[in-house]
Amino acid sequence: MIELHGVTKRYGRFTAVHPIDLTVARGELFGFLGPNGAGKTTTIRMATGVLRPTAGQVRIAGKDMVRDPIGAKRHIGYIPDRPALYEKLTGEEFLRFVGGLWGRSGATVRKRADDLLEMFQLADWKHTIIENYSNGMRQKLLICSALVHSPDVIIVDEPMIGLDPRAARLMKDVLRAFADNGGTVFLSTHTLEVAQALCHRIAILNQGSIRAMGTIDELRHEAEAGTAGLEEIFLKLTGGHQVQELMAALHDPSSD
Amino acid sequence: MILFRETQERRALAPARAPVQPGVFDLYAPRWLAARRRMHEGRSVARGVLLGLVGLVFWTIVFALIYRMISYFRSTPGVGDLLAVKLLGLLLLAFLPILLLSNVITALSSFFLARDLELLAAAPVDGTRLYLARLLETTIHSSWMIALVLVPILSAYAAVFDAGPLFLVTAPVALAGYLLIPAVVGTAVTQLLVNVFPARRARELLALIALLAGAVVIVGLRLIRPEQLARPEGFRDLVDFIATLRTPQSVWLPSEWAAQALVAPLDLAGADWFPLLLLGSTAAAFTVFGAWAHERLFRVGLSRAQEGSSSGTRRTWPIERLLSPLGHAPRSLILKDVRTFFRDTTQWSQLILLAVLVVIYVYNIKMLPLFSGEDVGFFLTNVIVFLNIGLAGFVIAAIAARFVFPAVSLEGRTLWLLRSSPLRLSSLVWSKYWMGLLPLLVLAVAITTGTNAILRVSGFVAVLSLLTIVAVTFAVAALALGFGAVFPKFNTDNAADIPTGFGGLLFMMVSTAYLAAVVVLEAWPVYAVLLSRLRNQALGIEQWSAIVIGVGLALLLSVAATVIPLRVARRRIEAIEF
């Protein structure tokens, strides 16, 4: 459903993303992890067509993002990391606007928007303009907007930011149910427990390149991490262990 | 290990020492550094040269004008020096309300809405230092433009009166006092206002007050027709006139003190140093008073500034039904733009300025002495109607700069959504274009038809002016959208700020050049037709070829000025990386 072939992004002489190859199948929940500045958001923005790759090809549902951007984007619901919203629209108007962008309007989209707002406990706020929303409410509205046009693929960057425990649980359930019903999820997150609990496969990105990719067992094998959890594997593959060792040394009085 | 031991030692020592307070300039440093970096980032030789040239031309014009006026005054013995001081006092008095209003609005951002306030409010920073740093910022942001305008004015005074080095010392001191007093007062007004209204509401309220005040001032100035004040029969006798000149305009206002202080070293009749002392001591006393008020009002105001503003709406817009023949995406975009426009005070309030512009324009046309007294004649009236196309075009360009130019910038931060949606970018460009074009077109046709009726012109020139203004509006709207896409300003919450930069200036320059070209191209056919009318001749081959070539070329130019900017806009939106 999502295919990245040699996708690269360069800014002048700096390469933010080295050639990346990956495929995410229909019904799969795919995790995309990496330390800060690894190139996750850049990759996601290329996958959604927001950013044009310097080289390589992005295909969504078999449609090339450069040759047929309209066809490719039709399948996507995108939840970016802390985006700007239309502050002067109400929550309901925003969802109907997004529906319109994806070519949907009328009673169907209104009903779906109402259902989503109800599900995410925003029904009481649907006639309030967005500038009065809290961060968590904005994040919930954003999730609703990614679902309002019934996409086949959800690409999501840090979905749990600002969510209360109940909404976070709901988000996890929604993503899982979406994948169980044949949808495809591409999930970038720093919350390793979420990735471990939800994702069928995970890719770990470091300094713009995929360091490892596979199921948890495959990653353990790759990192030679025995029965370790995702946090251990992540630290081992991204060099985080050096920091841990340094911190341990700092605590140790004998190291003076 | 050193890192941890040192921390423990510091913790143990901390209660013994009072926290070292940052200096006022340290608190201002982030703003200054950011501004410097922005200047370096946007540095391009062409842009610098163009801005420098425009600035230089402006300074030269102001300098030449003031120099000429004061030299003329000086040639009148007895009243010359008095007139020069009076003029300076009037100028400074005119700037004073602008400074006050500008400070009130800027203080709202710098004291209550700036994003770094949360950090500063949480830090152990002394209130007075914070006040002084923010006052400095407010003063600079609100006064730089007036300070720049005053440079050529004061230079002209210095040149005419052969000012010595003392003027170079006292002028900046007097100017600092003159600029600081409205800043302190403006800041105090804002502190009071925010304690009554939440800051976000107050900003909208102030934007509206500022615009209304500006509109009233502009209309008032125009309607009292200052050109009539120059009539000599207005003065009763010379003694009366000199007595009026000797009377200070407003003895309690800093503008009067500043004017007196500025001319003190110029050895004019009746100059003394007391006003400089008065200005300096008042500015200092006001600053102390301002700091005192800040201590009492700021914390509560800042807390209120975090409160929400307006509530929501359930209104269904009739326009929704009207737009239903359009596709889903264009309809959604237009609806969103219309809603945002009428809910964002910084956008809709500019309609007031538009109304003022149109009223003044139509009033000026009505006041033309074409039908009062002697008959000006068919030829001249038609020429004025023809030149009116350029003027009307300029009004349309000024309005397009306010409403169409910001379209792409306003979409900037939310482009993530449009770019990730299956929306064709051409739909985006077209919807923005039509959104801007249609109201402009209605306005352009209305003012052209209206002014043609006032000027009592019909026939060839009336038809040509109507057709031309339609073509010009298509082109000017496209140019505004194109330049707005090439020079976007994404980091602003205020739509009125967007056209005030380099891109806006360039758009106005290019539009003016385009309008001049259209007028020049159509001048030949208009001249040929009017001449044959005057001679009561039928249109011959020469007149027809003039019409075809002149009007044809103007039309071609207009088509190019429409198509090319729209293409550029589309390409630029595609290329924006954020």
Q: Is B331 on the interface with A (CB under 8 A)?
A: yes
Q: Is B4 on the interface with A (CB under 8 A)?
A: yes
Confidence band, pLDDT 50/70/90 cuts, at residue B483: very high
- Interchain proximity B417–A101, CB inside 8 Å: yes
pLDDT (average), residues A134-150: 89
Tens digits of per-residue pLDDT, A23-49? Answer: 999 999 999 988 888 889 889 988 988
Q: Is the pLDDT of residue B300 over 90?
A: no
pLDDT score recorded for residue B433: 92
B332 and B269 in a single domain? The answer is no
Q: Is residue B399 part of a domain?
A: yes
Of B241, B276, B305, which closes a domain? B305
Cα separation of the two ends of chain A: 55
**pLDDT above 70 coverage of chain B, percent:** 76
- Structural domain boundaries, residue B570: 326-575
Nearest CA in chain B to A130: B312
Nearest CA in chain B to A248: B1
Chain A window 104-143: which residues touch B at a Cβ cutoff of 8 Å? 104-105, 125, 127-129, 131-132
B249 and B331 in a single domain? The answer is no
**Nearest-neighbour CA in chain B from A117: distance (Å):** 16
pLDDT score recorded for residue B312: 52
B531 and B398 in a single domain? The answer is yes
pLDDT score recorded for residue B228: 46
Q: Is residue B20 part of a domain?
A: no
Comparing CA positions, the residue from A173, A184, A56, A51 lying closest to residue A120 is A173
pLDDT (average), residues B78-97: 80
- Interchain proximity B1–A89, CB inside 8 Å: no
Backbone angles phi, psi at B31, to 5 degrees: -65, -45
Long-range pairs, B144-147, Cβ under 8 A, ≥24: B146/B95, B146/B98, B146/B99, B146/B179, B147/B175, B147/B179
B152 and B298 in a single domain? The answer is yes
Q: Is the pLDDT of residue B355 over 80?
A: no
Comparing CA positions, the residue from B566, B332, B329, B340 lying closest to residue B427 is B329
- Whose tokens are 């709901």? That residue is A170
- Whose tokens are 């700021």? That residue is B298
- Interchain proximity A50–B422, CB inside 8 Å: no
Report d(CA A76, CA A2) in Å as an integer.
10
DSSP assignment, residue B537?
-
Pairing status of strand A201-206 against strand A184-188:
unpaired
Tens digits of per-residue pLDDT, B399-438? Answer: 898 889 988 888 877 888 888 888 888 888 888 899 889 8
- Interchain proximity A252–B1, CB inside 8 Å: yes
Residues of chain A in contact with residue B344, where contact means CB-CB under 8 angstroms, are: 88
B298 and B333 in a single domain? The answer is no
Tens digits of per-residue pLDDT, B249-276? Answer: 567 888 888 988 888 877 665 557 788 8
Residues of chain A in contact with residue B424, where contact means CB-CB under 8 angstroms, are: 70
Planar angle of CA A193, A196, A202, nearest 5 degrees: 130
Tens digits of per-residue pLDDT, A151-172? Answer: 999 999 888 877 888 888 888 8
DSSP assignment, residue B253?
S
- Interchain proximity B1–A105, CB inside 8 Å: no
Task: Output the six-digit token pair for B31.
Answer: 């703003």
Q: Is residue B10 part of a domain?
A: no
Instruction: Tell me if A174 sits within 8 A of A147, measured CB to CB.
Output: yes
**Nearest-neighbour CA in chain A from B418: distance (Å):** 8
Confidence band, pLDDT 50/70/90 cuts, at residue A225: low
B301 and B330 in a single domain? The answer is no
B288 and B363 in a single domain? The answer is no
- Interchain proximity A100–B328, CB inside 8 Å: yes
Report d(CA B54, CA B48) in Å as an integer.
10
Confidence band, pLDDT 50/70/90 cuts, at residue A241: low
pLDDT score recorded for residue B245: 55
Query: Average per-residue pLDDT in chain B?
Result: 79
Instruction: Tell me if A129 sits within 8 A of A85, measured CB to CB.
Output: no
Q: Is B60 on the interface with A (CB under 8 A)?
A: no
* Choice among A41-55, A232-246, B378-392 with the minimum mean pLDDT: A232-246
| Domains observed in chain A | 2-75+152-255 (3.40.50.300), 86-151 (no CATH)
Q: Can you give the pTM of this predicted structure?
A: 0.68
Confidence band, pLDDT 50/70/90 cuts, at residue B506: confident
**Nearest-neighbour CA in chain B from A155: distance (Å):** 10
Residues of chain A in contact with residue B340, where contact means CB-CB under 8 angstroms, are: 86, 88-89
Q: Is the pLDDT of residue B553 over 70?
A: yes
Provide the Cα torsion B295, B299, B304, B305; round to 10°: 90
B337 and B247 in a single domain? The answer is no
Beta carbons within 10 angstroms of residue B562's beta carbon: 22
Q: Is residue B312 part of a domain?
A: no
**Nearest-neighbour CA in chain B from A223: distance (Å):** 31
Instruction: Tell me if B138 sits within 8 A of B24, measured CB to CB.
Output: no
ipTM over the 0.90 cut-off: no
Tens digits of per-residue pLDDT, B164-212? Answer: 888 888 899 999 999 999 999 999 988 888 887 766 666 666 666 666 6
Q: Is B417 on the interface with A (CB under 8 A)?
A: yes
B93 and B241 in a single domain? The answer is yes
Residues of chain B in contact with residue A96, where contact means CB-CB under 8 angstroms, are: 332
Task: Order across the sheet with A14-24: list the strands.
Answer: A14-24, A2-11, A55-60, A63-64
DSSP assignment, residue A90?
B
In one letter, which amino acid is A199?
C
Nearest CA in chain A to B427: A101
Residues of chain B in contact with residue A157, where contact means CB-CB under 8 angstroms, are: none
A104 Cα distance to chain centroid: 24
**Nearest-neighbour CA in chain A from B353: distance (Å):** 22
Report d(CA B234, CA B267) in Å as an integer.
31
Q: Is the pLDDT of residue B115 over 60?
A: yes
Conformational region of residue B287, where left means phi above 0, alpha means psi within -120 to 50, and beta covers everything else = alpha
Q: Is A5 on the interface with B (CB under 8 A)?
A: no
B173 and B292 in a single domain? The answer is yes
B239 and B376 in a single domain? The answer is no
Q: Is residue B25 part of a domain?
A: no
Q: How many CB pairs under 8 A join A and B?
A: 115
Q: SS3 sequence, A209-250?
A: EEEEEECHHHHHHHHCCCCCCHHHHHHHHHCHHHHHHHHHHH
Give the number of domains in chain B: 2
Comparing CA positions, the residue from B315, B328, B414 lying closest to residue A148 is B328
Q: Is residue B28 part of a domain?
A: no
Counting DSSP H helices and E strands in chain B, the numbers are 23, 0
- Whose tokens are 């001449």? That residue is B531
Beta carbons within 10 angstroms of residue A167's beta carbon: 19
Tens digits of per-residue pLDDT, A80-109? Answer: 887 788 888 889 988 988 888 888 877 888
Report d(CA B193, CA B327) in Å as an integer.
46
Comparing CA positions, the residue from A143, A235, A184 lying closest to residue A22 is A184
Q: Is residue B332 part of a domain?
A: yes
Confidence band, pLDDT 50/70/90 cuts, at residue B337: confident
pLDDT score recorded for residue B208: 66
Report d(CA B423, CA B421) in Å as an integer.
5
B347 and B296 in a single domain? The answer is no
Long-range pairs, A59-68, Cβ under 8 A, ≥24: A59/A2, A59/A3, A59/A4, A59/A5, A60/A1, A60/A2, A60/A3, A60/A153, A61/A1, A61/A152, A61/A153
* Test the B interface: residue of A64, A75, A79, A93 with most B CBs within 10 Å: A93
Q: Which of A69, A99, A129 sits opposite B343 (nearest CB)?
A: A129
Q: Is residue B321 part of a domain?
A: no
Pairing status of strand A209-214 against strand A14-24:
unpaired
Q: Is the pLDDT of residue A176 over 70?
A: yes
Tens digits of per-residue pLDDT, B203-225? Answer: 666 666 666 666 666 666 555 55
- Interchain proximity B328–A104, CB inside 8 Å: yes
**Nearest-neighbour CA in chain B from A149: distance (Å):** 10
